[in-house]
């Protein structure tokens, strides 16, 4: 036998809404924590690889610079001009590398965008549910 729609007290509805809001807040906080942890691990890995690359690049560069300077000197140009030529080329390459590095991280942000969007959607749905429940 069906007694029709379930009748609940106002206090029960408010308590249930509070429980759901608290549950949503906990889930959003967990999402926030997971998103920041993910971003932090990405930054950490990037930093470690970046440091290793920089050290290896510097060591290799020393050997290549000496080789280039000696090759230019052996071609008949004075050592001073050979150093200036190699230094200018390396400086231009360094500026280009900085430009590409800046371009690579242009869209990155430390703000937990997914968490904010999810929390906004959750509380909008909760407000709609409370509003819909009050109109019944």
Predicted pLDDT of residue 51? 92
DSSP type of residue 6: P
pLDDT digit string (tens) for 4-30? Answer: 566 778 787 888 888 888 888 888 888
Alpha helices in the chain (DSSP H): 10-74, 79-104, 113-135
pLDDT of res. 118: 85
Asked whether residue 133 is assigned to any structural domain, the reply reads no
| Model confidence at 129: pLDDT above 90 | no
Phi-psi sector, 94: left (phi>0), alpha (psi -120 to 50), beta: alpha
Tell me if 4 is assigned to some domain: no
Q: What span, in angstroms and rounded, lies between the C-alpha atoms of 116 and 93?
A: 40
Whether residue 46 is contained in a domain is answered as yes
Tell me the average pLDDT of the chain: 84
The answer to whether residue 1 is domain-embedded is no
Residue 8: inside a domain, yes or no? Answer: no
Residue 120, in any domain of the structure: no
- Comparing CA positions, the residue from 115, 110, 112 lying closest to residue 26 is 115
122: in domain: no
At 3 the pLDDT is: 58
How many domains is the chain partitioned into structurally?
Answer: 1
In a domain, 130, yes or no: no
Structural domain boundaries, residue 38: 14-105
pLDDT at 136 over 80: no
Largest Cα–Cα separation, the chain: 106
């Amino acid at each position: 036998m069906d007694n029709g729609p379930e009748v609940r007290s106002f206090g029960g509805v408010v308590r249930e809404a509070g429980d759901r809001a608290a549950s949503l807040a906990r889930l959003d906080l967990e999402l926030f924590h997971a998103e920041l942890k993910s971003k932090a691990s990405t930054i950490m890995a990037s930093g470690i690889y970046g440091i290793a690359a920089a050290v290896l690049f510097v060591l290799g560069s020393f050997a290549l610079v000496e080789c280039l300077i000696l090759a230019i000197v052996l071609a008949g140009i004075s050592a001073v001009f050979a150093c200036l030529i190699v230094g200018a080329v390396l400086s231009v390459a360094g500026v280009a590398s900085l430009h590409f590095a800046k371009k690579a991280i242009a869209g990155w942000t430390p703000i937990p965008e997914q968490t904010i969007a999810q929390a906004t959607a959750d509380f909008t749905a909760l407000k709609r549910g409370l509003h819909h429940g009050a109109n019944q």
